[in-house]
Amino acid sequence: MAFEKKIVIILRNDLLTWQKLNIAAFLMSGISGTQDIIGEPYRDADGINYLPMSQQPIMIYSADGEQIKKILKKALNKEVDMSIYTEEIFKTYNDEDNRAKVAEYKTDDLNIVGIGMIGKKNHVDRLVKGLSLHE
């Protein structure tokens, strides 16, 4: 199935595994909460219902800090919606504090450790060109 939009997560490559998983979950919550990507609920053969998930694949890439900053700057001029996760959010424990921490920094000064992105497939493909899929 072909999709008009593409979803990607870009994670800084020097993070601990638990941090990467945590960031990916938070970034996807922003995308799934604001975009029409969620399918129908799942149901097993015993009739048990499960929550729906994204209807399309989510590609996860790895990048260093400088690459992530460059991608963020380029993405600001493309037709993409983004969620971000900064290193400072690791030290906060609620959404209000998370947003306050991000608001302390100008765009160029954000210490981005992860970006979630959804947008026109060709725009997103250009932004992640040269990155490796996360292993």
Domain ranges of the chain: 5-133
Average of per-residue pLDDT across 117-134? 96
- The C-alpha torsion from 65 through 69 and 74 to 75, rounded to 10°, is 90
- The C-alpha torsion from 46 through 51 and 57 to 61, rounded to 10°, is -120
Would you say 24 and 18 are in contact if contact means Cβ atoms under 8 Å apart?
Answer: no
pLDDT at position 2 is 82
Q: Using one digit for the tens of pLDDT, what is the confidence trace for 25-70?
A: 999 999 999 999 999 999 999 999 999 999 999 999 999 999 999 9
What is the CATH code for 5-133? Answer: 3.40.1490.10
Residue whose structure tokens are 């906060």? 92
pLDDT at position 114 is 98
| Residue 135 pLDDT exceeds 90 | no
β partners of residue 59: 8
pLDDT at position 20 is 97
| Residue 1 pLDDT exceeds 90 | no
Average of per-residue pLDDT across 65-81? 96
Average of per-residue pLDDT across 96-116? 97
Q: Is 88 helix (H, G, I), strand (E, B) or coil?
A: helix
Q: How many CA atoms lie within 13 A of 69 on its CB side?
A: 10
pLDDT at position 31 is 96
